[in-house]
C-alpha cells in the first residue's frame, strides 16, 4: 500500500479570456494534492480559487493587480483558501476531510499521519512566468 509523503496546494492563473474578474483583477484556481511514495500525485479537490483586485480611490482606471503582487502574497492567499473557515477549530488544515478524500482514491492515511508530512504551495509555470520568477 502506498503512503502519503507530501501534501500541497497548486495554484494557477485563470487565463484572462476565461476569467470573470473585473478590470483591475486577476483570478486564480487552487487544487490540493497528495504525493505518494511511489511518485504518483493525486488531486484531492480542485473547486477552489480566489481573485485579487487592485483599485485606487478616485481613479477612473483600475490599477494593474500585478504591479505589487508577489509570490509571497499569492502563497498566503492559497493557504487561506484551503484552510477551514471554522474559527472553532485549532487544526491548521481539515486533516480528517483530506484523509477521507485520500480513502476515496484507495489510499489509507490517517489525519494524524497527514499532520506529519510536509505541506507545500506550488505555482503553475504560467503563473510563475506572469510573476516574473521563471
User: What DSSP line would sit under 53-119, residue for residue?
Assistant: E---TT-SSPPPGGGT--HHHHHHHHHHHHS-S-TT---SS-HHHHHHHHHHTT----HHHHHHS-E
Per-residue pLDDT of the chain (134 residues; tens, 9 = 90+): 789 999 999 999 987 667 666 666 788 999 999 999 999 999 999 999 998 876 665 666 656 777 778 899 999 999 999 987 765 555 578 999 999 999 999 999 999 999 999 999 999 999 999 888 65
Distance between terminal CA atoms of the chain?
37
φ/ψ (deg, to 5) at 28: -135, 145
pTM: 0.83
Domain boundaries, the chain: 4-131
Amino acid at each position: 500500500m502506498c503512503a502519503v509523503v507530501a501534501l500541497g496546494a497548486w495554484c494557477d492563473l485563470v487565463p484572462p479570456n476565461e476569467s470573470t474578474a473585473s478590470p483591475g483583477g486577476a483570478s486564480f484556481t487552487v487544487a490540493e494534492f497528495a504525493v505518494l511514495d511511489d511518485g504518483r500525485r493525486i488531486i484531492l479537490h480542485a473547486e477552489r480559487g480566489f481573485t485579487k483586485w487592485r483599485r485606487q480611490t478616485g481613479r477612473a482606471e483600475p490599477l494593474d493587480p500585478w504591479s505589487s503582487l508577489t509570490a509571497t502574497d499569492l502563497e498566503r492567499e492559497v493557504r487561506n483558501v484551503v484552510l477551514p473557515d471554522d474559527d472553532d477549530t485549532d487544526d491548521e488544515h481539515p486533516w480528517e476531510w483530506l484523509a477521507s478524500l485520500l480513502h476515496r482514491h484507495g489510499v489509507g492515511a490517517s489525519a494524524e499521519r497527514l499532520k506529519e508530512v510536509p505541506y507545500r504551495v506550488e505555482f503553475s509555470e504560467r503563473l510563475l512566468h506572469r510573476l516574473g520568477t521563471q
